[in-house]
A and B are shown apart, each in its own frame.
Chain A
Amino acid sequence: MSILTAVITLGLIAGIFGLLLGYASIRFHVEGDPVVDKIDALLPQTQCGQCSFAGCRPYAEAIANGEAPINQCPPGGETTILALADLLGVEAIPLNAEHGEEKPVATVAIIDEQVCIGCTLCIQACPVDAILGAAKQMHTVIEDECTGCELCIPPCPVDCIEMIPLKETLETWKWPLPEHTHTAPKI
């Protein structure tokens, strides 16, 4: 008899909480699945394809579908991995070296205009239309538009494109973090 009481009590509790959970899932339902957008927003948009996907958006979709790990974006580097880990609630993992290494400083492409033969191959390769020029005409890189993806380098038949580090200006200069930091206690 007492066992029966226990079973009934437990069953009732289970039923009540089940209903409560069911109600909560309807009441607090989140519309849509913007996670791809959120991931895409965190990716650096170089469209370089180093992640082995055809661009940032496809990679974002792959991450969202659980088909790719979050450590395949060398241009984003550690910052992006941490941001992605934070967004997706997974553990941050170091950058996969197979996809390349994080560049210490941002770079932009520059075309040696003396050497360029005007073949337009780099123009076709540029994912953000940052190269200006036409067939048999000298090409030039619009520095502000260049994402530093390096996709224009392999197609060049005369090897006239070079990556140069972005120059630090008064606008982009950052105060350095003071040397002594005590906030991360070491045990």
Chain B
Amino acid sequence: MLFKTASSPHNNQAYTVDQIMQRVLLALIPGTIAAIVFFGWGVFINIIIASITALTCEALMLNLRGRPIKPYLTDGSAMVTACLLALALPQLAPWWLTVIGTAFAIIFAKHLYGGLGFNPFNPAMAGYVVVIISFPREMTQWVPPLVEGYTHLNFIETFRLIFTGIAPDRFAWDAITMATPMDILKIQLGLELSINDIHQHQTYGPLFGSISGIGWEWINGLFLASGIWLAYKRIIDWRIPVGILGMLFFLSNSFALYDYASFTPPTFHLFSGGIMLGAFFIATDPVTASTTPKGRWLFGMGVGILIFIIRTWGGYPDGIAFAVLLMNLAAPLLDYYTMPRAYGHHWYEIPGYHKEDQDE
């Protein structure tokens, strides 16, 4: 009898890439539902558009690159990219904006660098940055939360608005879209209003909810919960989100203590915008983050610092995309200098150390 050969270990294996991606998608569901509940069908339609675009581009690129389509298309990585990007876009972003962002993410940021596992930048964030730089006006088409006192569109109206740009007659355009609490805060702080003034403002005040904005606090809370679940399941590394949130909390708290009136409090920082999505789902993308334990601490802390800087002094209300991309750039360097000390070796035996010594 002849036996088949195989490489060791001859044992059943742990998670597969598919299972990792599936669990990430699963973990996105609660927060996404909250987003739909609070901000309407636009979120849902965006996810559908982005997913179709991502899968089409993925299949196209795999075909062009002569790679097997099925195992890669079903690995779920394109879906994750699509969902993350769609959740980051404004709810009423026109369809072509979502298509352009997703297509850029998959074609340029992912496949032109070699596909899954080879992209140096987070594809979703690369796509996001392209659209926010190219189409700043469309990127402000956020909707007010679905609570009393604000307008809300039904599914058909939302669908029509996204695909044709035609707003329903019963509402003025200004009533349909509205700046997010983060935008408001940034603009009003720029106008020398104090945090307290803004919170008690006649028009904007109610938007801020109890912590950081109606709806946003729920979305972020749910992403935090499912993120903790992912970390517990060891799908993501806990060091990166802890690094980001810890750093952001430390900095915002320090500045708020220094000047309560003109620096946003840590509670707002930690529960507004895309922070939890960014900390648990985007920055933890293993392909583009650091791989060593120490490197991951530094990576997370770096993202946290950059988010705080961009939010406080930068030109964009939420700096997650830029912060993540900048730290992606630093990941190889972090990996190199934070290598673990190999068993039986000294900590200073960084690979290449002796080599360079000899070359001199």
Which residues of A, 153-187, contact B by the 8 Å Cβ criterion? 178, 182, 185-187
Quick check: B66 and A185 within 8 Å, CB to CB? no
Does B114 count as interface, using CB distance less than 8 angstroms? yes
Most chain B C-beta atoms within 10 Å of own C-beta, residue among A178, A182, A186, A187: A187
Quick check: B7 and A185 within 8 Å, CB to CB? no
> Which A residue's beta carbon lies closest to that of B119?
A185
Query: How far is the CB of A71 from the nearest CB of chain B, in Å?
Result: 26
* Residues of the A chain whose Cβ atoms lie less than 8 Å from the Cβ of B67: 186
* Residues of the B chain whose Cβ atoms lie less than 8 Å from the Cβ of A186: 65-67, 114
Which residues of A, 70-106, contact B by the 8 Å Cβ criterion? none
Alpha-carbon gap, A178 to B117, bound state (A): 18
Alpha-carbon gap, A186 to B115, bound state (A): 9
* Residues of the A chain whose Cβ atoms lie less than 8 Å from the Cβ of B7: 178
Could you say which interface size class chain A belongs to?
A: under 10
* Residues of the B chain whose Cβ atoms lie less than 8 Å from the Cβ of A182: 117
* Residues of the A chain whose Cβ atoms lie less than 8 Å from the Cβ of B118: 185
Alpha-carbon gap, A185 to B118, bound state (A): 8
Which residues of B, 33-71, contact A by the 8 Å Cβ criterion? 65-67
A-B contact count (CB 8 A): 14
Alpha-carbon gap, A182 to B287, bound state (A): 14
Alpha-carbon gap, A186 to B111, bound state (A): 9
* Residues of the A chain whose Cβ atoms lie less than 8 Å from the Cβ of B112: 187
Does B173 count as interface, using CB distance less than 8 angstroms? no
* Residues of the A chain whose Cβ atoms lie less than 8 Å from the Cβ of B113: 185
> Which B residue's beta carbon lies closest to that of A28?
B360
Quick check: A187 and B65 within 8 Å, CB to CB? yes
Which secondary structure dominates chain B's binding surface? loop
> Which B residue's beta carbon lies closest to that of A186?
B65
* Residues of the B chain whose Cβ atoms lie less than 8 Å from the Cβ of A178: 7
Alpha-carbon gap, A185 to B113, bound state (A): 8
Query: How far is the CB of A184 from the nearest CB of chain B, in Å?
Result: 9
Alpha-carbon gap, A84 to B118, bound state (A): 29
* Residues of the A chain whose Cβ atoms lie less than 8 Å from the Cβ of B114: 185-187
* Residues of the A chain whose Cβ atoms lie less than 8 Å from the Cβ of B115: 185
Alpha-carbon gap, A186 to B113, bound state (A): 9
* Residues of the A chain whose Cβ atoms lie less than 8 Å from the Cβ of B65: 186-187
* Residues of the B chain whose Cβ atoms lie less than 8 Å from the Cβ of A185: 113-115, 118
Query: How far is the CB of B119 from the nearest CB of chain A, in Å?
Result: 10
* Residues of the A chain whose Cβ atoms lie less than 8 Å from the Cβ of B66: 186
Query: How far is the CB of A171 from the nearest CB of chain B, in Å?
Result: 21
> Which B residue's beta carbon lies closest to that of A182?
B117
Alpha-carbon gap, A99 to B285, bound state (A): 51
Alpha-carbon gap, A178 to B7, bound state (A): 9
> Which B residue's beta carbon lies closest to that of A184?
B114
Alpha-carbon gap, A187 to B112, bound state (A): 7
| Chain B 72-89 near chain A by CB (<8 Å), digits 1 or 0 | 000000000000000000
Query: How far is the CB of A73 from the nearest CB of chain B, in Å?
Result: 25
Alpha-carbon gap, A178 to B8, bound state (A): 12
* Residues of the B chain whose Cβ atoms lie less than 8 Å from the Cβ of A187: 65, 111-112, 114
Alpha-carbon gap, A178 to B67, bound state (A): 18
> Which A residue's beta carbon lies closest to that of B360?
A28
> Which A residue's beta carbon lies closest to that of B112?
A187
Alpha-carbon gap, A182 to B113, bound state (A): 13
Which residues of B, 116-166, contact A by the 8 Å Cβ criterion? 117-118
Alpha-carbon gap, A136 to B90, bound state (A): 95
Query: How far is the CB of B249 from the nearest CB of chain A, in Å?
Result: 39
Query: How far is the CB of B307 from the nearest CB of chain A, in Å?
Result: 31
Alpha-carbon gap, A182 to B117, bound state (A): 9
Which residues of B, 274-331, contact A by the 8 Å Cβ criterion? none
Alpha-carbon gap, A187 to B65, bound state (A): 5
Residues of chain B at the chain A interface (Cβ within 8 Å): 7, 65-67, 111-115, 117-118
Write 14 A-B pairs (CB below 8 A) sorted by A numbering.
A178-B7, A182-B117, A185-B113, A185-B114, A185-B115, A185-B118, A186-B65, A186-B66, A186-B67, A186-B114, A187-B65, A187-B111, A187-B112, A187-B114
Residues of chain A at the chain B interface (Cβ within 8 Å): 178, 182, 185-187
Q: A182-B117, A186-B114, A187-B112 are in contact. List 5 more A-B contacts (CB 8 A).
A: A185-B114, A185-B115, A185-B118, A187-B65, A187-B114
